[in-house]
Chains A and B, each alone.
Chain A
Amino acid sequence: MSTGGDAPRRSAGGRFVDGLRTVDERRVAGLAGIRSRWRALPLVVRIAALAAVAVFFYLLPNLAIPLIPTPDTNFASVLFTVAVYVLVAVGLNVVIGLAGLLDLGYIGFFAVGAYSVAIFGSPASPLATKYPWLMLIPIAIAVSMVSGVILGGPTLRLRGDYLAIVTLGFGEIVRLIAVNWSITNGQIGIPNVPAPPGKFPDGSPLFGVIDTRPFYWLALTVVLICMFGVKLLENSRVGRSWLAIREDEDAAELMGVPSFKFKLWAFAIGAGLGGLSGALFASRQGFINSNSFDVLTSVLFVAAVVLGGAGNLAGVTLGAVLISYLPERFRGAAEYRFLFFGLALIAIMIFRPQGLIPSRRRAVELADRKREAEEEVTAGA
Chain B
Amino acid sequence: MPDATTGVAGPPLLEVDDVTMQFGGVTALDHISFEVRRGEILGLIGPNGAGKTTCFNVMTGVFQPTSGEVRLNGQKLVSRSRHQITRLGIARTFQNIRLFPEMTALENVQVGGDARHRTSVPGALLRLPRHRREERDGRTQAFELLDFMGIPHAANSLARNLPYGDQRRLEIARALATGPELLCLDEPAAGFNPAEKEELLALIRRIRDRGQTVLLIEHDMRLVMGVTDRIVVLEFGRKIADAAPAAVRADPKVVAAYLGVPEDAA
Assuming the A-B contacts A236-B135, A237-B114, A243-B103, are A6 and B96 also in contact, with contact meaning beta carbons closer than 8 angstroms in the complex?
Answer: yes
Is B127 engaged at the interface, CB distance under 8 Å to the other chain? Answer: yes
Q: Check B124–A251 contact: CB distance below 8 A.
A: no
Q: Check B125–A233 contact: CB distance below 8 A.
A: yes
Task: Give A242-281 as 1s and 0s: 1 = Cβ < 8 Å from B's Cβ atoms.
Answer: 0110111011111111110100010001000000000000
Partner of A232 from B95, B124, B138, B175 at Cβ < 8 Å: B124
Task: Give B108-130 as 1s and 0s: 1 = Cβ < 8 Å from A's Cβ atoms.
Answer: 00111011110111011101000
Q: Check A6–B106 contact: CB distance below 8 A.
A: no
C-alpha spacing A8/B97, complex, angstroms: 8
Assuming the A-B contacts A3-B62, A253-B83, A361-B158, are A372 and B143 also in contact, with contact meaning beta carbons closer than 8 angstroms in the complex?
Answer: yes
Q: Check A251–B156 contact: CB distance below 8 A.
A: no
Nearest A residue to B135 via CB reads A236
Binds A, one of B85-93, B224-232, B238-246, B255-263: B85-93
Is A329 engaged at the interface, CB distance under 8 Å to the other chain? Answer: no
Task: Give A51-71 as 1s and 0s: 1 = Cβ < 8 Å from B's Cβ atoms.
Answer: 000000000000000000000
C-alpha spacing A237/B54, complex, angstroms: 31
B240 to chain A, nearest CB (A): 23
Partner of A241 from B61, B114, B158 at Cβ < 8 Å: B114
Is B104 engaged at the interface, CB distance under 8 Å to the other chain? Answer: yes
Q: Could you say which residues of chain A place their CB within 8 Å of the CB of B100? A: 243-244, 247-248, 251-252
Q: Check A254–B62 contact: CB distance below 8 A.
A: yes
Partner of A6 from B82, B86, B95, B124 at Cβ < 8 Å: B95
C-alpha spacing A376/B141, complex, angstroms: 11
Interface centre among A364, A372, A376 (most CB of B within 10 A): A364
Q: Check B134–A363 contact: CB distance below 8 A.
A: no
Is B169 engaged at the interface, CB distance under 8 Å to the other chain? Answer: no
Partner of A237 from B81, B96, B134, B175 at Cβ < 8 Å: B134
C-alpha spacing A236/B12, complex, angstroms: 37
Q: Could you say which residues of chain B place their CB within 8 Å of the CB of A337? A: none
Q: Check B83–A363 contact: CB distance below 8 A.
A: no
Q: Check B111–A232 contact: CB distance below 8 A.
A: no
Assuming the A-B contacts A232-B125, A254-B92, A256-B87, are A240 and B111 also in contact, with contact meaning beta carbons closer than 8 angstroms in the complex?
Answer: yes
Task: Give B46-65 as 1s and 0s: 1 = Cβ < 8 Å from A's Cβ atoms.
Answer: 00000001100100111100
State how many residues of chain A have any CB contact under 8 Å with chain B.
46
Interface centre among A248, A251, A255 (most CB of B within 10 A): A255
Partner of A243 from B62, B95, B102, B186 at Cβ < 8 Å: B102
C-alpha spacing A375/B100, complex, angstroms: 29
A378 to chain B, nearest CB (A): 13
Q: Check A236–B119 contact: CB distance below 8 A.
A: yes
Q: Check B102–A256 contact: CB distance below 8 A.
A: no
Q: Check B112–A256 contact: CB distance below 8 A.
A: yes
Q: Check B102–A372 contact: CB distance below 8 A.
A: no
Q: Could you say which residues of chain B place their CB within 8 Å of the CB of A210? A: none
Q: Could you say which residues of chain A place their CB within 8 Å of the CB of B106? A: 364
A371 to chain B, nearest CB (A): 10
Assuming the A-B contacts A247-B102, A364-B106, are A254 and B86 also in contact, with contact meaning beta carbons closer than 8 angstroms in the complex?
Answer: yes
B171 to chain A, nearest CB (A): 9
C-alpha spacing A355/B132, complex, angstroms: 33
Interface centre among A4, A229, A256 (most CB of B within 10 A): A256
Q: Could you say which residues of chain A place their CB within 8 Å of the CB of B110? A: 240
Q: Could you say which residues of chain A place their CB within 8 Å of the CB of B116? A: 256
The A-contacting residues of B in range 143-185, CB under 8 angstroms, are 143, 155-156, 158, 174-175, 178
Partner of B120 from A6, A238, A259 at Cβ < 8 Å: A238
Assuming the A-B contacts A6-B96, A236-B131, A363-B156, are A255 and B112 also in contact, with contact meaning beta carbons closer than 8 angstroms in the complex?
Answer: yes
Is B98 engaged at the interface, CB distance under 8 Å to the other chain? Answer: yes
Q: Could you say which residues of chain B place their CB within 8 Å of the CB of A252? A: 100, 111
A281 to chain B, nearest CB (A): 24
Is B30 engaged at the interface, CB distance under 8 Å to the other chain? Answer: no
C-alpha spacing A283/B224, complex, angstroms: 69
Is A21 engaged at the interface, CB distance under 8 Å to the other chain? Answer: yes
Nearest B residue to A256 via CB reads B115
B117 to chain A, nearest CB (A): 5
Q: Check B111–A257 contact: CB distance below 8 A.
A: yes
B137 to chain A, nearest CB (A): 10
List A residues at the B interface (Cβ < 8 Å): 2-8, 21, 229, 232-233, 236-241, 243-244, 246-248, 250-259, 261, 265, 269, 359, 361-364, 366, 368-369, 372, 375-376
23 contacts between A and B (CB under 8 A): A3-B57, A6-B53, A6-B186, A236-B123, A236-B131, A237-B117, A237-B135, A241-B111, A243-B100, A248-B98, A251-B98, A252-B111, A254-B60, A254-B86, A256-B114, A257-B111, A258-B81, A265-B121, A363-B156, A364-B139, A366-B156, A369-B155, A375-B136
List B residues at the A interface (Cβ < 8 Å): 23, 53-54, 57, 60-63, 81-83, 86-87, 91-92, 94-96, 98-104, 106-107, 110-112, 114-117, 119-121, 123-125, 127, 131, 134-136, 138-140, 143, 155-156, 158, 174-175, 178, 186
Closest 7 CB pairs of A and B: A256-B115, A236-B124, A247-B100, A256-B86, A363-B156, A253-B82, A251-B98
